[in-house]
């Protein structure tokens, strides 16, 4: 199946494009899709994921077909039937 991964704000220049489409099998997890979308881009992976690639960094919002991942699952959730993942860095001001 094909999943579109959208990069928002500062993630766009890091990714070098606003989105990518990745081909994964139906058993793929959210983590599998993110890693495939960021393959060959260690700076982007470092910006998105914790040191051991086990969690999304706290300032990254992840939407799965428009719904916050915290509502529907976690990085291990299956993406069967999912068409789009959006990665958004939160912005903090002072």
In a domain, 63, yes or no: yes
| pLDDT for the residue numbered 94 | 58
Report the pLDDT value the prediction gives residue 55, as an integer from 0 to 100. 85
The pLDDT value given to residue 76 = 86
Q: Extract the residue ranges of the chain whose pLDDT is less than 70.
A: 92-94
* Number of independent structural domains in the chain: 1
CATH of the domain at 59: 3.10.20.30
The reported pLDDT for the residue numbered 87 is 96
Question: Which residues span the domain enclosing 20?
Answer: 2-89
Distance CA 6, CA 34 (A): 10
Q: How many CB atoms lie under 10 A from the CB of residue 6?
A: 18
Q: Decide if 94 is inside a domain.
A: no
Nearest Cα neighbor of 19 from 29, 27, 11 is 11
Residues 6+ apart with CB under 8 A from 50: 56, 57
């Amino acid at each position: 199946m094909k999943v579109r991964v959208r990069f928002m704000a500062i993630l766009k220049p890091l990714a070098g494009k606003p989105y990518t489409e990745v081909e994964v099998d139906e058993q793929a997890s959210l983590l599998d899709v993110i890693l495939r979308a960021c393959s060959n881009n260690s700076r982007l992976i470092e910006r998105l994921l914790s040191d051991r690639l086990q969690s999304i960094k706290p300032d990254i919002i992840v939407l799965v077909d428009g719904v916050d991942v915290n509502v529907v699952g976690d990085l291990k959730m299956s993406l069967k039937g999912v068409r789009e993942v959006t990665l958004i860095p939160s912005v903090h001001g002072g």
